Structure 1
Amino acid sequence: MDTAKPLAGLKVIELGTLIAGPFAARICAEFGAEVIKVESPNGGDPLRKWRKLYEGTSLWWFVQARNKQSLTLNLKDADGIAILKKLISEADILIENFRPGTLEKLGLDWDTLHTLNPALVMVRLSGFGQTGPLMDQPGFGAVGESMGGLRYITGFEDRPPVRTGISIGDSIAALWGVIGALMALRHREVNQGKGQIVDVALYEAVFAMMESMVPEFDVMGFVRERTGNIMPGITPSSIHTCSDGKAVQIGANGDAIFQRFMRAIGREDLADDPALADNAGRDTRRDELYALIDRWAASHPQDEVLKVLERAEVPASKIYSAADMFTDPQYLAREMFLNATLPDGKSFKMPGIVPKLSDTPGSAEWTGPALGEHTDAILGTLGYSEQQIAELRARGAI
C-alpha cells in the first residue's frame, strides 16, 4: 500500500465499461486506491478495441485502465456472482455504469449490497439516473450532451449543432462521480461508517455545467443560441485568423485587460473610450470590436500576434494540436507527458496526472492490463486455491 497517496487503503470495484465508470475508477487508481476492474471473460471492456489499435489493443485502453487490476468474472454464473459479492463485502467503493436495473436482475440491488457491506459507497453512473420516466432508457454521453443543453449551444448560428471532439459528457459525469464518492466517504467517517448511493445521470452532469442558462430563461425568457466562436455577454473573447492562416484565441474581456489590448494594437482611442470601460458596453459594440481585432490579427503572423499579446499581458493562445503539446515548454515543465511501455516493450507517452497535489501526488504505476491478468492473484487473496481457480475457469465462471 502506497501511503504517500491520498486514497491509499481504499478498495474500489469497477463494474463499468467504456468511458464514464472506467474514467472515474482511473482517477481513484491514480491517487492510490486499489482498483479491481471486473470484466467479462468474453472480450472484456469494449474500450479495449476502440479508436487507434496497437497490436490489436486500443492505445486509449492503456491509459484508461492504468493502475487497475483486471479480474474476469462471468456475471451470468452463480459462482461469478458469489466471487463478486466477496469482493464487494470488503470494498469501500463500487462504481458501475450499467443501465438501471441491470444489477438488480443479478441480485445485486442496493438493499442486498448495503446489508452485505453497510460501509459501501456505490457510485451509479447512467444516462438518466436511477429514477424518473427515462431511467430504463439507454443513454450514452452524446445523448447526455444533447439533453443537458451543451450541443444546442455548440456551433454556428446558421448551422446545425455540433459535438465537441471528445466524449465530454461521459468524462464530466465521471468527475461528478468521483466528487460524490469522496463526499460520501467523508459522510461515512462521521456517521458510524454508513455508506450510501451516489447517483449521477449523464444529462444532469452536463446540465450542471450550463452556467446561467436556467435563470436567464426563467427570469427573462432568454434562450441561449449557438454563436460560433464568440461568447455573447463576454467581449471580446474569440478566435481570430492570422496572416499565415493560423488561429489564435484571444480573451480580452477583463476591463483592464481590454485597455492594455487596445493600446498594444495602437487603438488608444478605444482603450480610453468610457463607453467601452466595462463588459456591458463592449458587448453592445461587439461586432465593431471583433471586426477590428480580425483585421489586426489578419495583418500579422501568429508568432507576432502572440508576442504582442504576451507583452501586453493579454490571455491568448494558439489552438493546440497533439503535435503542439508534445513540444510545448509549459506542458513539459508540468510533466503532462509520462513515459510508459507497451506490452512489446515499445515506449510511449501517456497524459500526466491531474490535479497536482503538493504532498501526495498521483502517479501512473502501470498501463492497462491484459484481460484477466490479475484474476488468479485476486482470487487467491479471497481464499481460493489453485485447484478451485482451475475448476472455476473450466466451468466458465471466470
Structure 2
Amino acid sequence: MTERTGDNSRVPPFASPAALLSDLLPDQAVLTNIRVLDIATFVAAPFCGTILGDFGAEVIKIEQPGEGDALRGFGTRTECGDTLVWLSESRNKKTVTLNLNTPEGADIFRKLVAQSDVVLENFRPGTLEKWGVGFEALRAINPKLVMLRVSAYGQTGPKRNEPGFARIAHAFGGLSNLAGEADGPPVVPGSTSLADYISGMWGAIGVLLALRHVEQGGDGQFIDIGLYESVFRLLDEIAPAYAKYGTIRQRMGADTVNVAPHSHYRTADGKWVAVACTNDRMFERLAAVMGRADMATSPFYATSIARVERRAEVNAVVADWIGALPQAEVLDICQKGGVPCGPVYSIEDIFEDAQYKARENLMEVEDPRVGKLTIPAAIPRLSETPAVFRHTGRGLGADTDSVLTSLLGLDAATLSRLRAERVI
C-alpha cells in the first residue's frame, strides 16, 4: 500500500483512555498506509471515506475550487460558514481544491491516483469518463486502484443516468412504502439521509474486500452501488415472501410482521417504550410481569401465529398495562422480568443516558474554527486498533498546498499560477 505522510503527533483514541495502555499514534491505526482520494459529494460515498479515515486511512477530500462540497452548506450552519454535518462527517480528512473538469486539473488528479489506493466517487455514470478519469483510464495508471462508485441506480440499467437522492432511494428501494401508519401515507423512515449513510457503509465493506484482494496479489477493481440497492438489501423477507406466496407487505405503523406484541406503547407519564416479543418465551415473560400469566397458556395467545391473528387484542392488553404506569416503572418491571423493553429516546434523552456515557458514544472535540463540538464516536469498536480522531472537517482547500507539494512536488510559483487559473 502507499507510504503514509503526515502528522505523527499523539491523538486521543475514541475508546476510553482507561481501556488502553497508551494513546495511539495515527500511524498505528489499522488502515495506516492506505491513501484515499475522496472526489465525491454530500454523504453516500464520502461517508465511506469517513469510516476509513476514522481507522487511520489518509483521506484527501478533493473539492471544486471556490464552492466546495454541497455538504458544507447542508444542515445547521456554524460561525465558520460550514455546517455541523460537515464538521462531523468530514472529520480526519485533508481538504484539497482541484477542478477535474480542466485538462491540468485532471492531469494533477491522475498523478495523485498513481500514488493512492482508493478513489471514492458519486457522479452520474459517465461523468468521469467524459473528463478522461474514468476507472479504466485510472487503472491504466494504477493497476491496483480500488474505486467506489455510488450513484442513484448504479452504473448499469435503464435508469443509470437518472439523478437521485436518499429520499428517492427510500421510495424506489421499497422502504418508504413500509414506513407509516396502515391508513396513512408513506413517510420518511427516520432520516432523509439514511440511504446515503447505508451506502457509505456498504461502500466501506466493498473497499475493504477489494483491498484484501489487492493485498493477496490481485488487481484493483471498482465497487458499484446504487443508493436504492443499499436499502432494498435490508428489507428482510419481503422479496422471497412475494416471489413464493404473493405477499405484499403493507405499512403497519409501529408494529411488525410475523410477531406480536412488537410495538411502541405510551406510558402514564406521556412517554413511550418499545417492546419486542420475538418468540413465545419472551411473551411468556411479558404475560407474567403484566399479571396475565393465563395468556401464555391460552390457545388464543400462546403462539406467535395465534397472537398475530389477534394482534389488536394483544396490543390492547399490553397498551392498557403500560398506559397505567410511568415509563421508569415499566422499564424496571420489564428489566427484572427479562422482557426486552426500552425507552423511545429523543436526542435530549440520549445525551443524559448512562449507557451512552459509559460507551463514550458521544465525543467532545475541539474545532479550531468553532470551538467545542460533540459528535458521534466512531464504530465499530476494535479492541486492539480502535479508531483515532485527528480533527473535524477542515476549511475549503486547507491542505491544498501541503498535499500537492508533498506528493507531487509542486512549487509555490506553480501553485500560485494554478490558483489564479482556478485549477485549484
TM over 0.5: yes
- Within the candidate set 75, 92, 103, 1:51 is matched to 75
Q: CA deviation at 1:386?
A: 1.4
1:110 is aligned with what amino acid?
A: F
**Deviations 1:150-169 (CA, angstroms, capped at 9, x unpaired):** 00111011111001231111
SS across alignment from 2:116: coil
Q: Which runs of 5+ in 2 are unaligned?
A: 5-25
Q: CA deviation at 1:275?
A: 5.0
**Deviations 1:77-103 (CA, angstroms, capped at 9, x unpaired):** 222111111111111111101111110
**Deviations 1:170-220 (CA, angstroms, capped at 9, x unpaired):** 111111111111111112222x34000100011111111111011111110
2:366/2:373 contact within 8 Å kept: yes
* Counterpart residue number, 1:85: 110
2:53 corresponds to 1:26: no
* Counterpart residue number, 1:185: 211
1:74/1:80 contact within 8 Å kept: yes
Pairing of 1:208-227 with structure 2 (within 5 A): 208-227=233-252
* Counterpart residue number, 2:101: 76
Q: CA deviation at 1:254?
A: 2.5
Q: CA deviation at 1:330?
A: 0.5
1:118/1:193 contact within 8 Å kept: no
1:318 is aligned with what amino acid?
A: P
* Counterpart residue number, 1:319: 344
Q: CA deviation at 1:374?
A: 0.2
Q: CA deviation at 1:342?
A: 2.9
* Counterpart residue number, 1:173: 199
Q: Which runs of 5+ in 1 are unaligned?
A: none
**Cα distance change, pair 357–224 in 1 and its aligned pair in 2 (3 A):** same
* Counterpart residue number, 1:330: 355
* Counterpart residue number, 2:59: 35
Q: CA deviation at 1:37?
A: 0.4
- Within the candidate set 248, 256, 263, 2:281 is matched to 256
2:322 is aligned with what amino acid?
A: A
Quick one: distance in 2 between partners of 1:176 and 1:252? 30
TM-score, normalised via structure 2 length: 0.91
Percent of aligned pairs with the same amino acid: 40
2:34/2:58 contact within 8 Å kept: yes
1:123 is aligned with what amino acid?
A: L
Superposed CA RMSD in Å reads: 1.3
Pairing of 1:199-238 with structure 2 (within 5 A): 199-238=224-263
Q: CA deviation at 1:271?
A: 2.3
SS across alignment from 1:7: coil
TM-score, normalised via structure 1 length: 0.97
Quick one: distance in 2 between partners of 1:260 and 1:349? 39
1:362 is aligned with what amino acid?
A: A
- Within the candidate set 107, 110, 131, 2:156 is matched to 131
* Counterpart residue number, 1:384: 410
- Within the candidate set 137, 147, 169, 1:122 is matched to 147
**Deviations 1:344-396 (CA, angstroms, capped at 9, x unpaired):** 45212111111100100112210000000000000111111112111111221
Moved over 4 A (4+): none
